[in-house]
Every structure is written in structure tokens, then in C-alpha cells.
Chain A
Amino acid sequence: MIVMQWFRWLAVAWVLVFAGRLWATEIDSPAILLNNAQSAPLVAVARTGQRWVAVGDHGVIVHSGDGRVWTQSKSVPVDGLLTALSFADDRQGWAVGHNGVVLHSDDGGQTWVLQKRLDDQPTLLSVWFENARHGMVVGAYGYAAQTLDGGATWQAMQVGEEGEDHHLNALFAGRDGTLVIAAESGKAYRSSDHGATWQSLDTGVSGSLWGGTGLRDGRLLLVGMSGRVLMGDSSGRHWQRLDSGSHEAITAVTQLNDGRVAWVGNGGLVGRSDTAVEHFSVEQREDRLNLSALAANTSGDLLLFGPTGVIVPDAVPGAEK
């Protein structure tokens, strides 16, 4: 314990001595090309055109057409943790991460450039692009910014009340173009004017919300810690708690082609709903990996993403050629 105390003082001492100095010594190092990049830790996935693109730690970005064979994107100029990505169309995409990193690709995710390092290097947690010009990012301590010129310049965006500093964990669009932010401590925000103004939502919960998705019927779904699943109407005024059947944190959720919803979470959690999205079934993987993203392939099987990279569903006999 004494050692711990000592460490704490040492840490404080270091802050006093070195604060500020280190901010200036950040050096970018490009991501290294790996033999087996699909096994690198991955935290987010997005679809563009005919391929999936996933991002993760050490600047690793991988893409795949069939979900089985993954190729590492060449020339990623940073090697930090990338947290999210969004594609405006088949070619134009943005990926964001820690230290204010905004990467841009104009070839569907195969190559990337460092487009911008946002001022004060905020920890960016989510990105969403409406089209090739207009997009926004959200992140830690209430950080939010938007661009109107495809990422060249960014303007700060006020989401919560002045002085609110909740982490803004995930940004997504509803069916009708409504934007929703899932945030820390049960907070959520909604914008019906493309991000110009935001209203705080009363979700009725206090645990952090980590993700969400707009369902095809217009309803909104929010997920988060303690296995929380909230179903809201498109206005975001009325929220109903659904029993997910698990207490593990849910990290990501997506709607499948048949209308069902699937999610993944920490501790190897994989959940699915019925087509009405009322009842859920969950399974906990034996490996208890903290899963952080998912995608459904054409045959409805789930591709999972986590600390060991892409977890491909068991091969169907004859499916491989």
C-alpha cells in the first residue's frame, strides 16, 4: 500500500514536471503491415459498397469482401487506437480515434491519409457522415464537432448543456434522418436538424449508454452497461426498458435483414431478438472475449470483432471454394 501511495505521489510529481511538455512530443508512426492483420484487436466495423471495413488498435484497418479473407489497408499513417468509422458512399470514408485523429479514405477504405488532428487532441469515440461533405464526430468529455467541407475544417458543436462533460459514446442516425447520441450516465441526445441543435433525452436510466441503432420501422434502440436495452419511439420521448437477459455491458447493436436485432458485448456476450424486437435470446461465448462490434454477412451469420480480431462464423461445408 505504501508503494501505491508512493506511486501516486510520483505520478503527481511527474505531472507537475512534465505537464505540457509531452503534448508537444507526439510523433506519428505509421501502422505496421501485418501477416495476419485480421487477428489484431478490432473495435468497429462499417459497410461500404461491396465490402466491410473494420478498425482497431495500432492503426490497423482491414477490409473484406466476403467476411472471411481480410486485407490490411495500406498506408495508414497513425498507429494509435482507432475507435469508429463511417462511409458517406462507396468511396468516401472517415475513421477517427484517440488523440483527435481523423483519417480519410477516398477509395473505399483501401488507403488512408491523416486528414486532421483535431485541436486539443480529444478522444474521439464515434463518427457519422451524412454525405461526402457533411459529417460529425463525438468523443470524450462532451466533445462534438462537425464539418461542412468533407473534413477539411471542423467547428465545435454544443450537444449538452453548457459545462456538461459526459462522454459522448456513439452517434447514429434514425430512419427519418434524426440523429441520436448515446452518452455516459444514461444520457442521450437527439437532433432533428442535422446537428444544428440538440435536445437532451430522458432515458430514465443512469448507467452509461454505449451504442444504438435506428430500426427500419423508425423506432430507436439504445444499448449500454449492465445489459441495458432501451426501446424508444422515433421522437425519443418515450423509452421502454427491455430485458436483454444479461448483465454484461452491450457494446454494439445492429439490425439484420430479416428485421431481427443482434448485439454483442463484454464477456463474450452475443444476443439476438425476435423479428418484433420484443424478446431476446443471449449466449455467452466460452472465451468470454470482450466483443465490440458485429456485422451480418449475406447468409445472416454474424461476424464478430474483438481483442482477437475478426471472429468468422464456423465455415459452412462447401461454402469455401
Chain B
Amino acid sequence: MLAFLMSALERFFFRHRLATLGLLAVITMIMGNFASRLEMSAGFDKQLPQQHEFIKTFNQYRDVLFGANRVIVVLHARHGDIWNRQAMTRLYDLTQTLFFMPGIDRRSVTSLWTPNTRAVQITEEGMKAEDVIGGDVTVSTLDDQAIAGIRERTIVGGFVGSLVANDYSGAMVVAELADPDPQTGQRLNYLQFSQRLEDEVRAKYADADLDVQIIGFARQMGDIGAGAKSVVAFFALAFVLTALAVYGYTRSWALTLLPLLCSLVSVVWQFGTLTLLGFGLDPLAILVPFLVFAVGVSHGVQQVNFIAREVCAGADGMTAARRSFVALFIPGTLALITAFVGFATLVLVPIPMIRELAITASVGVAYKIITNLIMLPLMASYFRFDQGWVARVERLRARRDNAMVSLGRIAEPRNAVITTLLCLSLMAVAVWQSQGRHIGHVLPGAPELREDSRYNRDVESVVSHFSLGLDQFTVVVETPAGGCFRQDVMTHVDRLTWALGNVPGVLSAQSLPALAKLAASGVNEGNPKWAALPRDELSLGEAVRQVPEALHLYNADCTLLPVNLYLADHKASTLKRVVNVVERYRAEHGMPGVTIRLASGNAGVQAATNDVVEACELPMMLYVYLTIALLVLLVYRDWRAMIACCAPLTLATFLGYGFMKALDIGLTVATLPVMVLAVGIGVDYAFYIYNRLQMHLARGQDIVNAFQLALREVGVATVFTALTLSVGVATWSFSALKFQADMGLLLTFMFMANMLMATTLLPALAVVLEILIPRRGPVRAPLIAH
């Protein structure tokens, strides 16, 4: 039945090969047209699980909470402090430049030089506020005495740690961005704005004495955008490396061209589909086209391998191509379907970016059935191979076979048992080692960028010199209107603030009641014994009004009282601790009309993503493994095959977990798909090898011989494919984007681990199973033969 279908397909395609290829060329041209319109889009929101409780809160209040759109420019003295004329003058210029820069909300610009920086002194006559740098001080009149006065007022006003570094080594200009522009209503272009900061601020004001450090969301986006551009270069590099490797394997430019061209065609189709679906190419999802390309190369090499073998055996190009088509169409389709299902399960992860990635990856893999299993052999049928090439390849094959023969010794019973035991202990170590692996981002700074990137170095410097945390976690408290003037509501928020402020890992907790208490002390002559929330609304209102609006600790109608936490780090354990305390607090201390909501701030958003990624990982893996197990069982109708194919994959997966832990790579939006996809691709190796193994077994070979034959036929191609793909993705580890580097490292490791397991553990396990539980009946030939 199956054989009949195959020969019908073969007759059809090879009889109409020109028409078929012509049609595919037309499709490629149309898709290429769409693909050329594909745009790079770094979507921050797409990385967030939009339906998660925290993200709903974040989306609802993202424009009104503190720090969402802040840019911080620090003038840092490379030697000594900033209390000198040069630094103070530079700070003035910096403040002015920022003030007049388009995209900046001028009212919000704050530095020692701005009139909203005032030092309050409490005297018997009442509160007296004066500018830290008053109108009588100008750049031209700055002398030692004036600077000493500024320094004193800075200290009195409490600006050490906020506007001036704790060790006086730097001073800060803070501004909020006007986005959208209130006059034109246009959204701010973050990449342009970031470049402007670089050109008009850093380039202009940094020199040998003074350094300029710039941090903030806009700057972070700018650096990620710049890094994302390099992704294209890495893709090109990976392509070239793959091409060279394929040539090294085939020694024929024609056979090199075939898998690369066919794989590229499906990538073009995929890009075209992306445009048609209305998606952009996300730097985080750049992995997908490459993976689709890689899957294509992997199957293409199997085809080329088969064709070359046939040609060497004396067939002409046409015959070799036809045989290859017939032999590989069904196993290839099955392997691709496995990968397809593996990729498609990712749709279940409720994060838009992973969904998008899942859709495009599955579509890409589906295209492979056409490009690699039909188009490739059709094209190959036009090639002629000269005898010189055949002779060269024969010699090469002999050398490679020798290597495979020594690898084949693994199937000898003694070696098989040793290998299995070794792998079992390796499994135990890997499972044990992978315990407590990281969830989420581990290293400090912006997680998308490398630790030693300019941005993260700036962050590190600013955090270490100022009393400022960049891992902000915001708990949003919704109150009835006028909540700021109700002592019970304010006490409620104050208790929450205090409880959170004392969670290990929380550096400081800021909220309206916490500051209103200090203000209450202020209006009571500065007496510390009055630092409590006044019971009557008038006094409470008076205290609340002392708290600067710029801190965004309340909204206009006082229905929103956020608690801002600054965390020591954004490790999953820290975030979880905070979340747990909030959840316990709101369960134990309910107040009618008051809702405590998680969570905003960069750390809150990360907590949500961690939550989803962690919860999804196990089900995803289970779905993928279940699919593979079922398919293997279906194809080979043998439970031994299932174990022999899945055990190596499982070991590789756990080795991958251990690898992640050892290299501080956390489970993130970027690495979760990698782990799932790696299983889908890894099963290819197992498929190709086990397929040959079972065929030889069915023909009556004993297991040792059967495996050695299988290795000779497909082992070299498998090892080669894994090496090629590894080299390609390994280059990613030099990327400026941390997540791309992480993906590259992890994928390289997974390719290699899967290949090693398929060529060692798989046969060893097959042999050991044969020894432990000998078969009673004859071995059935696989449903798919090649």
C-alpha cells in the first residue's frame, strides 16, 4: 500500500519534474517578495505573558507608576569628587542639554542645578526651603565658597545617595520622557532617542576627567536594538560555516548547493509567511529561521548522503535521485512531523512571543517536506557526477568507515553494558546536578544585554555609588477615592510596606504612608516622635501634600497607592519570596474597598514571566516526549525502540539542564523553546540510526553487526550534521545580546549531546535490552524503509 503510493508519487514528480520545479520557483519568487518586506521588531510586550495577573496590573498602570520612563544621566568623576568648578560647570551644561532635548518632559528634569531641588530646614519659625543652588550662584560665579555652600545644602536637603553619589564621586540628572509627545501626539522613537543621548550627551560631555553614564529604559532599548542588527551578521556567518562544512563532507559544490539552497528556499517561504501573518522578525525569535534552516540542512545532508552512496554504487544522477526520494520521503516526513508537533506544542505557552515562534517554526518545518524531500531530489536528478569525484569520495568514505567501525564496537555486549552503566550514572549525576537550576535571569543588570556591556557597566556603577536599586518591584494598592486621606487605608499600606521592606533581598521599600510619616514629623517641628500617620484627615492631608508628586506614589484622585520595592537582585528566589509575602499579607489582612495587586516594575514583570515559564516547562517536555514515544511505537511497533530512542534524548535533556546551571543560564522566554526544540531535533538522529538498525535486524543480522552497518550508512552523516549545526550556532555566543548568546551556547550543547547519545547510548541500550529480555519473535521491519 505504502510502497504503491510511493511509486505513484515518484512517477508523478519525476515525470513532471520541470513543471514541479517551475511551480516551486514561482512560489519562491512570490514569497521572496513578501519576505523582503519583513521588518525587524523588538517587541517588549510580546515577551510578557499577557494573561498573567501581574502583567494585567503592569499594563493597566504602566504609564502612571514611577520609573517607567525615566532616563538617568550620571556625571562621574574618574578621580576625586564632583565638588569642583569643572564638574559643577559640566553638570550645569548637562542639565541644560537634557532640558532642551526633544522627547524630555522639561518639568521633570532634576539635578542640583534645577530649581525643584530644594533643601528644607525646620526652624522655630517654621519650615524654610531654599534652592540647593540658588539664583545668586551661576557658572561664572562658582568659587570654592559657593561650592562649599552647594555641598552643605545638598547634604541638608538629603540629596546624598539620590542626586549625588554617596561618596560624592558623581552627580545625577534625572528626567522623565514625554511619550507620547504632548504637542505632536507622536510616540517617541526609542532607538533614535537613545542614539541622541549617545551623540549629544555622552560624546559631548565625557572626557579624561569626567565620565558620563546613561541608564534608563530608552537607553536599554537602544542597545538591544543595536545588538539585534548584528543578528543578521551571525546568520550570514552561520550560513557560510555551514556551506564550508557541507562542502568538506561532500567534496562537491553541486551537492553542497542542494541542501543549502533547498533549506534557504523554505526559510524564504517562512519569512514570506511571517509577513503574510502580520508578524515581524523578533531578535528573540531569530532562532527560528536558523533552526528551520538547520533542520533543512540536517535532512538535506541525509539526502545528499544517500544520493552520493548510490552514485558511488554506479547509478546515474537520475536513478540516484529517484531512489533517494523513495527511500527517504517517509522517514523524513515522519521526522519532520515529530519536529512539527514538538514545535507546535509551544503554542500552549501563554506568552505571545513563544506562540509566534511556535507557529512560524511549525510552518517552516512543514515547508521542509516540500523543499527537502521533494524539491531536493528533483533538482539532484539534473546533476551529472564525473568518475574523478566518485573515486575521491570512495577514498574518503573508506577512511570515515574505519572511524565508524571503531565507534561500532560500542555494540559489542561487554562495551554496551559498560556504556549503559556509564550513561546511567551520568544520568544520575545530571539529574542531581540539575536540581535547583535557575529560573529566570540570574546576572545583575539588564538581562537582555551582556554583563560587560556598556549599559550594564553603567548600571553597576550607578547602583554602587547611589542609594538606588534598579530591580524595582511594585505592588499596586487600589483604594477608594481619597485613600491618601484615610488613616486606616494609609496604615494598611504602611503595614504592607513595612512587611515587604523586611523581606530578605529587599533593599528598601517606598510608599506614600512611609514618606507621609516623615512629613508628619516635619510639620511637627521635625520631632522624630511625630513620625506617625496623623489620625485626623486634615493633618494627614497636610503630611501627604509634603510628599513630592514626582515620586508617583499616588495618583490624582488618590485611588492608587503603589509600594515600590528595590531588590538586591532579580533572582527567581528573591522574587518568589516577595510575591509570597504579598500574597500572605493580602490573604490575612483584607480591607473592604482596598485591593492589593501584584505586580509592576521590571522585577514584577520578571516574576510573572518566571512563573509562566516554570509552570510550562514540564508539561511542554511531557507533550513532546509523549509525541515522540507514540510515533516511535507506531513506526517500529516495538517497546524496545521506544526506550532506545527516548532514553538518550532524556539524558541529553538532563545534561542540558546541568549545563544551564553550570553556566548560569536561567530558564527564560529565550531558553525554554530551545530546550523543547532541541528534543524535537535530537530525535532525528535517533530516528535515522534506529531505522537502519532495525532494518538490518529484520534481515537477520545480529545486533552488533546490524549497528555497525547502520553506523556506516548514516553515522557519518549524523555526526557531521550535528557538528555543522553546532559550529553555526556556536558563533552566536559572541553576540552582544545575552539571550542570543545563551541560546547559542545551549543549542550547541544540545546538538552535540543529542548526537553523542544517539551514537553511543542508543545502540548500547538496544544491545543491553536484547541481552536482558531476548526477543521471542522475529524482528519486524520498520514501516518506513530507507
**Measuring CB to CB, which residues of chain A are less than 8 angstroms from any residue of chain B?**
3-4, 7-8, 10-15, 18-19, 22-23, 25-27, 29, 32, 34-36, 41, 43-44, 57-58, 79-81, 83-84, 97-99, 121, 123, 125, 167, 169, 206-208, 210, 225-226, 249, 251, 266-267, 288, 290, 292, 306-307
Contacts and interface: CB of A to CB of B under 8 A. Distances in A.
B124 A206 contact: yes
B558 interface: yes
Contacts of B487: 22
Nearest to A39: B502
A156 B525 CA distance: 26
Contacts of A84: 529
Interface of B: 122-124, 155-156, 158, 160, 482, 485-488, 495, 498-499, 502, 504, 517, 521, 524-532, 535-538, 540-541, 544-545, 549, 556, 558, 589
B329 to A, nearest CB: 66
Contacts of B545: 4, 7-8
B526 A290 contact: yes
A293 to B, nearest CB: 9
B537 A249 contact: no
A208 B488 contact: no
A3 B541 contact: no
B505 to A, nearest CB: 11
Nearest to A226: B124
16 contacts: A10-B541, A12-B538, A19-B536, A22-B487, A23-B535, A34-B502, A57-B532, A81-B532, A98-B532, A123-B532, A125-B529, A206-B124, A210-B527, A225-B123, A225-B526, A266-B526
Contacts of A83: 529
A43 B535 contact: no
A251 B589 contact: no
A131 B707 CA distance: 96
A62 to B, nearest CB: 14
A18 B483 CA distance: 11
Contact of A41 (B524, B525, B526, B531): B531
Q: Is the interface of A mostly helix, strand, loop or mixed?
A: mixed
Contacts of A167: 524
Residue of B498, B558, B589 ringed by the most chain A CB atoms within 10 A: B498
Given A169-B527, A249-B525, A249-B526, A10 B535 contact: no
B488 A249 contact: no
B537 A32 contact: no
B69 to A, nearest CB: 21
B347 to A, nearest CB: 44
**4 closest A-B pairs by CB:** A11-B541, A81-B532, A207-B124, A292-B528
Contacts of B486: 14, 18, 22
A79 B527 contact: no
A35 B581 CA distance: 14
Contacts of B525: 208, 225, 249
B510 to A, nearest CB: 14
Contacts of B488: 22, 25-27
A226 B502 CA distance: 34
A246 to B, nearest CB: 13
Given A22-B535, A81-B531, A167-B524, 10 more contacts: A4-B545, A10-B558, A27-B488, A32-B499, A44-B529, A84-B529, A98-B532, A169-B529, A208-B527, A288-B158
Contacts of B538: 11-12, 15
Contacts of B482: 10-11, 13-14
A22 B591 CA distance: 13
Residue of B530, B536, B549, B589 ringed by the most chain A CB atoms within 10 A: B530
Contact of A58 (B498, B526, B536): B498
Nearest to B585: A32
B537 A15 contact: yes
Contacts of B527: 169, 208, 210, 249, 251
Residue of B122, B527, B589 ringed by the most chain A CB atoms within 10 A: B527
Contact of B485 (A14, A36, A207, A266): A14
Contact of A226 (B123, B498, B556): B123
Contacts of B155: 288
A23 B491 CA distance: 13
Contacts of A58: 495, 498
B321 to A, nearest CB: 73
Contacts of A57: 517, 531-532
B316 to A, nearest CB: 80
A144 B625 CA distance: 77
Nearest to B518: A307
Contacts of A41: 531
Nearest to A208: B525
Given A18-B486, A32-B499, A288-B158, A43 B541 contact: no
Nearest to B155: A288
Contact of A251 (B158, B528, B558): B528
Contacts of A32: 498-499, 502
A35 B155 CA distance: 30
A23 B486 CA distance: 11
B475 to A, nearest CB: 16
A288 B156 contact: yes
Nearest to A79: B495
A98 B534 CA distance: 9
A11 B531 contact: no
Nearest to A25: B488
Residue of A11, A13, A44 ringed by the most chain B CB atoms within 10 A: A11
B558 A35 contact: no
A123 B539 CA distance: 13
A220 B502 CA distance: 41
Contacts of A306: 528
A18 B124 contact: no
Nearest to B536: A15
A267 B529 contact: no
Contacts of A15: 536-538
